[in-house]
Amino acid sequence: MIDFHVHMFPDALAARVLGKLAGASGNVPCTDGTRDGTMAYLKSNGVDKAVVLNIATNERQQRNVNDFAISLAADPDIIPFGSVYPLGASFEDELYRLHAAGIKGIKLHPEYQDFEVNDKRVFKVYEICGALGLIISFHAGYDNAYLHRMNCPPRGSREIAESFPNNKFVFAHMGGDGVFEDVYEYLAGTACQFDTGFIGKKGIACKALMSRIIKKHGAEKILFATDTPWMSVRESVDVVDSLDITAAEKDLIFDTNARELLAGVNAR
């Protein structure tokens, strides 16, 4: 099983970063945030490989964040994504550096990085990632720490999915945390992919709608994810198992889709 949405941090920073994020969001972490602690937890819960998403919340952090991502690539069970600050001046060099290091994608968080997903100022990032074949994983929908705004709504996501049809876009949280009706209406059926990270009890509560989203979008474009350390593997698996989809579709979601997507990107 591949988990397409995991967060971990350098050992020296993990406790401080988790404390800050937990305080801002009200979420309780299920790991200590370190590489060893996170991988031990995932493996004990049946996860073979983890896509680790790193986020540069400002331009100063960018290189250090990507140095950490590149360092994680030495572990065969970790597929690290880098990040760029899309409104900065140096993202282009970083994208080429990540690609040269064999990194398969980047993570963008429109709330943390203060941009709207369809803001033309960030289109250059999409263009370069498309040319290099890099995956872009977006936080999509609401974020618990930013409930006053939503910078990656399903309508905006649809706009860039249609504007960049050859890009590999993954919209986290089933296409938009907390706005699943809009995901079904506007985003399901496009060429992008969704991950199941952090849908938890919300997914169980509206499993009929989740099942409809998957039927409209296609199970082959859904990636199993937890958003570790913010959602347990067990709860995340239970959400997918509860849905009104076939066993074959669940197999695609839990493993096959991620393997096929990752195998076609920046192979070395």
Q: Give the pLDDT score at 267.
A: 59
Query: What is the percent of the chain with per-residue pLDDT over 70, rounded to a whole number?
Result: 96
102 lies in some domain: yes
Q: What is the mean pLDDT of residues 228-254?
A: 94
Q: Which residues contact 148 (CB under 8 A, 6 or more apart)?
A: none
Is the pLDDT at 149 greater than 90? The verdict is no
pLDDT band at 26 (very low <50, low <70, confident <90, very high): confident
Interatomic CA distance for residues 106 and 82, integer angstroms:
5
pLDDT band at 141 (very low <50, low <70, confident <90, very high): very high
Domain count, the chain: 1
Q: Give 201: exposed, middle or buried? Use CB within 10 Å, 0-12, 13-18, 19+.
A: exposed
Q: Give the pLDDT score at 15.
A: 86
Token pair belonging to 47 = 């996860």
Interatomic CA distance for residues 172 and 222, integer angstroms:
10
Q: What is the CATH number of the domain that holds 30?
A: 3.20.20.140
111 lies in some domain: yes
pLDDT band at 8 (very low <50, low <70, confident <90, very high): very high
Q: Do 97 and 130 form a contact (C-beta atoms < 8 A)?
A: no
Interatomic CA distance for residues 177 and 183, integer angstroms:
9
Token pair belonging to 57 = 């919340």
Full domain range(s) for residue 232 = 2-263
268 lies in some domain: no
Query: What is the percent of the chain with per-residue pLDDT over 90, rounded to a whole number?
Result: 81
Strands 78-81 and 49-53: parallel
Interatomic CA distance for residues 104 and 151, integer angstroms:
24
Token pair belonging to 107 = 């993570």
Kindly list the distances between the CA atom of residue 158 and the CA atoms of 117, 163, 225, in Å, as whole numbers in the listed order: 10, 8, 21
Interatomic CA distance for residues 44 and 48, integer angstroms:
9
67 lies in some domain: yes
pLDDT band at 215 (very low <50, low <70, confident <90, very high): very high
Each as own residue / partner, the long-range contacts of residues 126-133 (CB below 8 Å, 24 or more positions apart, any chain) are 126/160, 126/164, 126/167, 127/164, 128/92, 128/95, 128/96, 129/95, 129/105, 129/167, 129/168, 130/164, 130/166, 130/167, 132/95, 132/96, 132/99, 132/266, 133/168, 133/264, 133/265, 133/266
Quickly tell me which residue has 């960049």 as its tokens. 164
200 lies in some domain: yes
pLDDT band at 22 (very low <50, low <70, confident <90, very high): confident
130 lies in some domain: yes
Interatomic CA distance for residues 196 and 37, integer angstroms:
22
Interatomic CA distance for residues 151 and 157, integer angstroms:
10
Q: Do 168 and 265 form a contact (C-beta atoms < 8 A)?
A: yes
Is the pLDDT at 24 greater than 80? The verdict is no
